[in-house]
Chain A
Amino acid sequence: MSGDHFARALVGRVASFMAGALALVAVSNLGACHTPREGTDKPSEGTAGPNDGQGPASGVPYSRPGVAHTSNIDMVAISSDGAAALSRDQIGGTRLWPALDGSREPLPIPVQGPQQFSVQPRGDGFTVAVVDSAGGAKIFDVDEQGEVAELGALAPFQPLFGIYVLPGGERALALFRDHSIRLVDRTAQELFRFEESRFRPTSLRLGADGKRFVALTRGNGNEFEVQSMRVVEDDGGEGPRLRLHGAARPATPSQVATETTAVLSPDATRFVVVDRPTNNEWELAVIDLAEKVEAKKVTVRVPAHVVPNLGFVSNDHLLVSTAEGSLSWLVDLDDGSNHPRASAPQDFVTQGRAQAVGAGIQAAAHGSWLYVHDVDDRSHRYLGYRDFQTQSVGISPKGQWVAWAYMSGPIFVEGLGDNEGERFEINSEPGVGTLKVRFLDEEHLVSISNMGGILLHRWRDGTHVDAAGIQGGIRALHFEPSLGVMLIERHNNDARLFEVSTEGFAGPYIVADQAFRSGLLAEGTKRHPEAIMWTLDSANKLRHYGLEELRGDPSQTDVMAKGDAILPGKVAPLAIDRDGRHYGVRWNGSTMELFVDADGEVKTKVAASGDISGIVPSPSGKAFLAIHQRGQSTSLSAHDSTSLEERWSFSTGVFHNELVWSPDDRFVAVAASTGAVVLDAETGKPVHRRCGIEFVALGAAPATAFNGLNLKSMCEQ
């Protein structure tokens, strides 16, 4: 990653939003991503450069791929300079958004289900602190490369309410459930402990200077007190200390004070709390922490049935927003005037808690996306991935490239091995996503759209070499680049075979034999050496077809007359490999067995519990993958085709859409509902992952923002 790029996101609001402007330029051109356009003539630079005005907003190269939220965001925190945010989703996934201008993808933070968190920039990186689900705290360093390292922890033996990283990122205030406040360094070492009789803080609010803060102490019901405090540097050599500052100020709001209904000004001189509804407005209580005067009441034009959210934009201006999509208001606390502003999106998911305001930037949840609103310049954007549910995956014959396709957008080609970091984008038809993708060679790939449109691409320059089509209802795709054939299974059981070359398509040859399962054969079988494909119909009749036979346009009578019946007692195969071996599962008493039948020589292996829903032999026939369904979980196991011994297994979560081998047997790729992964076929170890495709900054979030699956991303496992 370029350090310059990364620093850009950290130098503060102004630079951040200059970059944001660039991002929005990119965003404004994103429509072009769905319009055929010329690709770059410099393949090594890809099409994702930040300044080419054509690529996605995620212009910064990826040293560590971002990971989408796979569930709706339900908690948000923002740094005091408004440059970065943290988010938690409903299944506990946690992300750091290193830039709020769309220039950086969100990074996973390795903590599940934090109760509270905070973030502050530190140099070129960040300090992130979380209260974990057990009540302990962890402090992480996120460096300029996006690498995350745990620096220290506070044991959950004494649980915390919260931990608040102070601006500067060097220290944090840890508020324990015994109501002590401890100042800790980045390694969680205690620097000072503050305890006071009859002082029961349950949450803190920080000022922007890292020295002033307030503690909220609970009284009866919704009553609480606001106590100003200071981090005092002790020149006497005893280190920093915490001190009370002034008298506590009472508040008696009509509902429980939360992070979004009770807020502190950046200079820590004003505290505002949502007080109570009056007629069709809300009263805010503005407590002057510098002067012991009665709280000032300010009204805001928010309907009484909606509890507003607050956030200081500056020391005298407050953003008051709601969770139901009506207007936000910028409230001048000096004269009480209300000024309309754009609103955070309607949020029925979190009821408005998932928002935060820092340095005039509002960050709020919108499904699995983040809404970012610059209150000062009145701009806003939605950050997120267009999708994370990968529909199809292909690996190039030499294993140098992987292509991802998804339902609603373009195809991405990313480098493997020596090409790691290179990325190309291929447009799909506007409004029609891609269902299948395969490489013909290192330069060409074939895509099939959701509507059945088939394109042969020269993917480096985006050229469409040829087009074909098929009616929809596609069930599966089999591709054999070494033979230049492609077999498309359809749900109505009339498969289509195409010949494919770098020049284009020939065919289709329609095989209307009512087969519910079929496959390609690279080298025929012993009994059918000329066969290029096989089919299996519902009467358990197995048919083989040669390419010349299909080119000769056989009559339906001839087709239905041919074939070999699978004898009673034999189990129909789930797959047949290039050597003609049959793969399947059968019951032996109460035990499920995998079997491989090589011309009558049958080998079996007891399968683990659950169902085996599919088998995918490798192109060479030396190995195969079995797909296991156990309860809600899907996993793959790779086996040697001769011994049936298991090589490895890999859990893919709940649903996977496609499972393919690379033509050279080196890789296995999985396209799944929570992302995609390329595995080393020998070890099963991931070599490349992508759990979020097409990270963008948009003026309006797409419907996919709410495509949460409530399943942990494959990239979090």
Chain B
Amino acid sequence: MPRAHLTVTALSCLIATSAWGIAEARSKSIVQQREVEVFQEFDGRFMGGQVDPGPFTLADSPVGEGQAPASNAVPASLHGSTIAVYRSGAVVIDPDSGMLVRTDAQGNKVTELAVGPGAAQLVVDDANERLFVTDRTGDRIVVVSLAKGELTQVDAFSTKAEPFGLALSPDGRTLLVTTVADRTLTAFNVGTGMPEWNLELGPEPRGVAISPQGHEAMVTFLTTGAVARVDLSTSTPRMSFMTLDPGTRTASPQVGLHNSFGNGSGGTPSALDPMSDEGKSFARNAFGVAYVGHNIAVVPHQLSTPHLASGDFESEASGYGGGNGFTSPINHRLAFFATPEAGDSGSVRTAMAATNLHQPRALAYDGNSDTLYVAGFGSDNVLAVADVSQASVHASWQHKVADTHGACGPDGLAVDPSNGQVLVYCSLTRRVVRLAGDPATNAAPVLVSHSGELADSRLSAEAQRGRELFRRGNAQEISTFGAMACASCHAETRADGLSWRLQGSNLQTPLLGGRIAGAHPFKWDGKDPDIRSSLTNTVQRLGGFGINVTQADELAAFLESVEPPRAPSVEDPMAVARGKELFESDVTGCASCHYGPLFTDQQQYDLDTNLSDVDTPSLVGLATSAPYYHDGSARTLEALLRGNASIHGMGQIATLTDPQIDDLVQYLETL
């Protein structure tokens, strides 16, 4: 019987096994050769039903209406951003440095205010000459006066753990705030700074937006394939869900004797297996949401297919997701949800549009021209979607925002209502770019101004370069055709909650933040002795042409700089103490393998899995790294502790009582 231990997570999607490394390298070279030929032939675009969608391709009928909505119908403060326009200048919150910066119309820094590293979003309350900022590490909303051209902190509201998204109601009285660690949506009375109500959300909430009529709000998530719609029309908010996930599996080749007339929509047995994700796509990384006209909410997101439908044709040489290397496991989309107006009933109409923006994230709406601007965090480009609230919705111009200062990494957009110019906040260079374009034409916008560096990065120069590489999309050195970036599965260096098909195994995407330095070896089988070799092997497995030693060092420097995820607030300290005692006791034996600052003995064990050995993973950030085990077979910590997953025989969990399981879970979520 193997040593009792609790295996929870390790490294897979980015830092995965190298047990197949040599064989993979040989076979991959053949695959890559074929890929290059196809790549050249088709101008670098994926084939097989996944042709480059161009800037904007609607897959459904538009949900918009005919007439352009009334001008300025949607204030920018209905959703948060890292940048906002104020009196022709800009206010910017830089999450890297935690500095709040005010600029003039030319982008020159006027003044600044330290909020705190990780500060996430801001909204401007024009009527009261103030703004609100979420201080992600300080668990507060900072209220800043904009009067007299200054930035002056005038108040702060305490929040649940790790506030992120912000939205100000149309009447300016209510501020909605999402919290990442505590997974809540809280409504604050702006006048008193007191919470009025609180809704429990699911894992990884991020953006929030309030409808222009104030009757509903939308909340987005990184790892749930749905958007929460919150009815604000009553005193008791009610939540419903609108799905982003496509509902149907892509079909597998129909092979084999029984499958010829077998049972199932996909043809292969795995398509019938409720435990199988083959052919299923999952919406991920919905960072933000914005309302445009006619009560339409737009949600940029990514579609991940961790187990491509490959049937019996899957081979060792198969690419990420088990595919043939010609089908992209990652695509990017914009979701359009047309919801009923205030007081109306009816169903929500949905339309999806594919886009070539990589990691579309930042949004800004210009009500004057009915144009939505969306930026690709991984591709550094901005897209203008014209007539976005109308049936005539279409792509207008698309523009790359990168210059000699380096890649942009746009994570904030704003529109100057006085002239329709678009302000882009480049998070990698910490600069503001101002563009003047005409959404009525496809003509490239004019660069109006380019600010200087607004704040100093907290990271070393090497780590900054690693951060840029980590999010870089369309990079063939990273993945096949550049379809996948490191951040595709590890947004914010976290985990996508999926298990990816790799050489015949389903391997759960591990959390990276806080689990790198001192956590070697890497990958689920522990075959990569250090982070650099692991990164190199992962890029090879992603189908990339490869990174050099310098790039590996840069990526490693970045990953080692990332803080672990925040743990949720402790509600019952006594339960946590009891759980800790259990964890460290011989009763469970957990701590015999999971000890030290990272809760790992850095050893490997034979756990009767399809891997030869399984590395003891770090347990840091456990609350945010579900599902658990190398194959993701434990959806929750409760399921894991009840033995309701694929791994058995670890620890003495069979004898745990329900209260003991509750205590252990509460403790584990604090790690």
A binds B: yes
**A contact set with B: CB distance below 8 Å:** 74-75, 88, 90-92, 110, 112-115, 132-136, 138, 150, 153, 155-159, 161-162, 176-180, 195-200, 202-203, 218, 255-256, 258, 260-261, 305-307, 309, 322-324, 350-354, 590-591, 606, 608-610, 628, 630-633, 635-638, 646-653, 684, 712, 717
**A134 and B395 form a contact (CB under 8 A):** no
Q: Are A633 and B226 in contact (CB under 8 A)?
A: no
Contact in complex: A156, B263 (CB < 8 Å):
no
Docked pose: A197 CA to B265 CA in angstroms = 33
- Cβ distance B97 to chain A, nearest Cβ, rounded Å: 33
Looking at the assembled complex, report how far the CB atom of B257 sits from the nearest CB atom of chain A, in whole angstroms.
5
From A91, A202, A590, B275 is in contact (CB under 8 Å) with: A202
Q: Which of A200, A351, A606, A649 contacts B265 (CB 8 A)?
A: A351
Q: What residues of B have a CB within 8 angstroms of the CB of A646 in the complex?
A: 66-68
For this complex, 11 residue pairs linking A to B, each with C-beta atoms less than 8 Å apart, are A74-B248, A158-B636, A159-B635, A255-B269, A256-B269, A256-B273, A350-B265, A590-B441, A631-B58, A633-B61, A651-B61
Task: Given A256-B272, A631-B57, decide whether A324 and B261 contact each other with a Cβ distance below 8 A.
Answer: yes
- A355 to chain B: closest CB distance in Å? 9
B191 within 8 A of A: no
Look across to chain B and name the residue whose beta carbon is closest to the beta carbon of A116.
B274
How far in angstroms is the closest Cβ of chain A from B630?
17
Tell me, rounded to whole Å, the shortest Cβ–Cβ distance linking A272 to chain B.
14
Q: Mark B227-240 against chain A: 1 for CB-CB distance below 8 A, else 0.
A: 01000000000011
Q: What is the interface of chain B mostly: helix, strand, loop, or mixed? A: loop
Report the Cα distance A255→B261, complex, angstroms: 13
Chain B residues 216-273 with CB under 8 Å of chain A are 224-226, 228, 239-241, 243-248, 254, 257-265, 267, 269-270, 272-273
Judged by a CB distance under 8 angstroms, whether B350 is at the interface is: yes
Cβ of B402 to closest chain A Cβ, rounded Å: 26
> Is residue B446 within 8 Å, beta carbon to beta carbon, of the partner chain?
no
Contact of B259 among A199, A324, A351 (CB under 8 A): A351
A196 to B639, CA, bound (A): 9
Stretch of B318-326, B385-393, B514-522 lying at the A interface = B385-393
Size category, B interface: 35 or more
* Residue pair B241, A649 in contact (C-beta under 8 Å): no
B392:A305 contact, CB within 8 angstroms? no
Residue in chain A with minimal CB distance to B262: A307
Chain A min CB distance to B444 (Å): 12
Taking A258-B263, A258-B272, A646-B66 as contacts, is the C-beta distance between A113 and B246 under 8 angstroms?
yes
Q: In the assembled complex, how far is the CB of residue B321 from the closest CB belonging to chain A, in whole angstroms?
A: 19
Contact B226 A712 (CB under 8 A): no
- For A261, what are the chain B residues with a Cβ–Cβ distance below 8 Å? 263
Tell me the residues in window 333-360 of chain B with beta carbons closer than 8 Å to chain A beta carbons: 347-350
Given A134-B225, A178-B638, A218-B275, A648 and B65 touching (CB < 8 A)? yes
When the two chains form their complex, are residues B247 and A650 in contact, meaning their CB atoms are under 8 A apart?
A: no
| CB interface residues, B 19-68, toward A, < 8 Å | 57-68
Interface residues of B in 268-284 (CB under 8 A from A): 269-270, 272-275, 283
- Asked whether any CB of chain A lies closer than 8 Å to the CB of B130, the reply is no
B interface residue numbers (CB < 8 A to A): 57-68, 201-203, 224-226, 228, 239-241, 243-248, 254, 257-265, 267, 269-270, 272-275, 283, 347-350, 386-387, 390-392, 394-396, 440-443, 634-636, 638-639, 642-645, 648, 653-654, 656
CB distance B263 to A132 under 8 Å? no
Residues of B within 8 A of A635 (CB): 61-62, 391-392
A606 vs B226: C-alpha distance when bound (angstroms): 37
- The winner among B269, B634, B639 for most chain A CB atoms within 10 A is B639
Q: Which residues of B contact A136 (CB under 8 A)?
A: 226, 241, 243
Cross-chain contact A633 with B58 (CB below 8 angstroms): yes
Bound form: Cα–Cα A162–B440 in Å: 48
**Is A684 a contact of B635 with CB atoms below 8 Å?**
no
What's the nearest-Cβ distance from chain B to residue A708, in Å? 13
Give min CB distance, B592 to chain A, whole Å.
Answer: 21
A138 to B593, CA, bound (A): 42
Interchain CB contact under 8 A, A197 and B642: yes
Q: In the complex the two chains form, what is the Cα distance from A421 to B225 in whole Å?
A: 41
Task: Report the minimum CB–CB distance from A398 to chain B (whole Å).
Answer: 26
Q: How far is the CA of A177 from the CA of B627 in the complex (A)?
A: 10
Question: Which residues of A are found within 8 Å of B443, using beta-carbon distances?
Answer: 590
Asked whether A591 lies within 8 Å of B441 as measured between CB atoms, the reply is yes
Nearest-neighbour CB distance to chain B for A631, whole angstroms, equals: 6
Bound-complex Cα distance A309 to B263 (A): 8
Q: What is the CB-to-nearest-CB distance from B16 to chain A, in angstroms, rounded to a whole number?
A: 23
Asked whether B258 lies within 8 Å of A255 as measured between CB atoms, the reply is yes
Which residues of the partner chain B approach A353 to less than 8 Å between Cβ atoms?
A: 263-265, 272
A90 to B390, CA, bound (A): 28
Contact status B247-A133, CB under 8 Å? yes
Q: Are A197 and B643 in contact (CB under 8 A)?
A: yes
Q: Known contacts A156-B202, A610-B394; is A258 also within 8 Å of B264 by CB?
A: yes
CB pair B262–A352 under 8 Å, yes or no, is: yes
Min C-beta distance of B295 to chain A, whole Å? 15
Is the CB–CB distance between B642 and A255 below 8 Å? no
Contact A653 B241, beta carbon cutoff 8 Å: no
- In the complex, A198 Cα to B265 Cα: how many Å? 30
Which residue of the partner chain B has the closest CB to A216? B274
Which residue of A has the minimal Cβ distance to B247? A113
Chain B residue numbers with a CB within 8 Å of A305 are 257-258, 260-261
Q: Choose one: B245, B392, B643; the contact of A637 (CB below 8 Å).
A: B392
- Give min CB distance, B67 to chain A, whole Å: 6
Contact status B247-A115, CB under 8 Å: yes
CB neighbours of A133 from chain B (8 A): 225, 243, 245-248
Closest to A606 in B: B440
Residues of B within 8 A of A647 (CB): 66-67
Identify which of A134, A197, A590, A652 contacts B224 (C-beta below 8 A): A134
Q: Is the CB of B391 within 8 A of A157?
A: no
CB-CB < 8 A to B67: which residues of A? 646-648
For residue A112, which residue of chain B has the nearest CB?
B247
CA distance A90 to B636 in the complex (A): 32
- A628 to B392: give the CA distance in the assembly, Å: 8
**Which residue of A has the minimal Cβ distance to B639?**
A178
Residue in contact with A649 in the complex, picked from B57, B58, B254, B391, CB distance below 8 Å: B391
Whether B224 lies near A110 (C-beta < 8 A) is no
- Name the distance in Å between A182's Cβ and chain B's nearest Cβ: 13
Residues in chain A near residue B245, CB distance under 8 A:
113, 132-135
Contacts of B348 in A (CB 8 A): 110
Chain A residues, CB < 8 A from B226: 132, 134, 136, 156
Q: 15 new A-B pairs (CB below 8 Å) besides A155-B241, A218-B275, A636-B391?
A: A135-B225, A157-B203, A195-B642, A198-B644, A258-B272, A305-B257, A306-B258, A351-B254, A351-B264, A353-B264, A591-B440, A646-B68, A651-B63, A712-B61, A717-B63
The answer to whether B61 touches A92 (Cβ under 8 A) is no
Residue of A nearest to B392 (CB): A608
Among A74, A200, A351, find the residue whose CB has the most chain B CB atoms closer than 10 A.
A351
5 shortest interchain CB distances as A-B pairs: A113-B247, A157-B202, A648-B66, A649-B66, A133-B247
Do B240 and A153 have beta carbons less than 8 Å apart? yes
> Which chain A positions have C-beta within 8 A of B392?
608, 628, 630, 635, 637, 649
Cβ of A653 and Cβ of B283 under 8 Å apart? Answer: no
B263 close to A637 (CB less than 8 A): no
Residues of chain A with a CB closer than 8 A to B387's CB: 608
Docked-complex contact A351 and B644, CB < 8 angstroms: no
Q: Of residues A91, A197, A638, A647, which shows the largest number of chain B Cβ atoms within 10 Å of its Cβ?
A: A197
Question: Which residues does chain A contribute within 8 Å of B273, judged by CB atoms?
Answer: 256
* Complex: A135 Cα to B225 Cα, angstroms: 8
Which of these, B62, B202, B347, B395, contacts A155 with CB under 8 Å?
Answer: B202
- Measured CB to CB, the closest approach of chain B to A281, in angstroms, equals 14
- Contact (A649, B247) CB under 8 Å given A178-B644, A197-B644, A351-B259: no
Minimum C-beta distance from B273 to chain A (A):
5
Alpha-carbon distance A260/B66, docked complex (angstroms): 47
Inter-chain contacts of B202 with A (CB < 8 A): 155-158
With contacts A110-B347, A113-B247, A132-B241 known, is A196 near B642, CB below 8 A? yes
